[in-house]
Amino acid sequence: MSRIGKLPIALPSGVDYTVDSNNLVTVKGAKGTLTVQLHSEIILEKQLTSEKEFTDILSKKYATNIFYSHMWGDSKIYLQKALWVKNLISFWIEKKLTAQSAAALLHDYLLKNQKTHFESLRALSYKSFWERMTLDEATIKSLDLVYNIATNSYTQWTLFWVLSHSKTSMWKRYLREQILHPLKDIKEIKNRQEFIAAFKSDSILLDKVRHNLKYIWDIDMFLTRLSVGRVWPKDIVQFKKSLIAVREVFTLLESSNNQAIQKLIKHS
- Please write the tens of the pLDDT for every residue from 95-149: 887 788 888 888 888 877 776 666 667 778 887 777 888 899 999 999 999 999 8
The closest of 134, 147, 139 to 182, measured between CA atoms, is: 134
2/237: higher pLDDT: 237
Same domain, 264 and 239: yes
Same domain, 268 and 221: yes
pLDDT > 90 fraction of the chain, expressed in percent and rounded = 30
User: Which residues span the domain enclosing 108?
Assistant: 65-126
Question: In the sheet where 32-37 sits, what is the strand order?
Answer: 16-19, 24-29, 32-37
Encoded amino acid at 209, one letter: V
Same domain, 119 and 176: no
Same domain, 1 and 12: yes
Q: How far apart are the first and last CA of the chain?
A: 35
| Residue that is last in its domain, among 64, 79, 102 | 64
Same domain, 203 and 258: yes
- Please write the tens of the pLDDT for every residue from 157-211: 999 999 998 889 999 999 999 999 999 989 989 988 998 999 999 999 999 999 9
Q: Could you tell me the sign of the dihedral formed by the alpha carbons of 45, 102, 75, 91, in that order?
A: negative
Same domain, 11 and 60: yes
186/73: higher pLDDT: 186
Are the beta carbons of 59 and 86 closer than 8 angstroms?
no
Q: What is the mean pLDDT of the chain?
A: 82
Q: Total domain count for the chain?
A: 4
Which neighbouring-strand residues pair with 34?
27
E strand intervals along the chain: 16-19, 24-29, 32-37
pTM over 0.85: no
Residue 33, domain CATH: 3.90.930
Q: In which band, very low, low, confident or very high, does the pLDDT at 82 lie, cut at 50, 70 and 90?
A: confident
Same domain, 79 and 102: yes
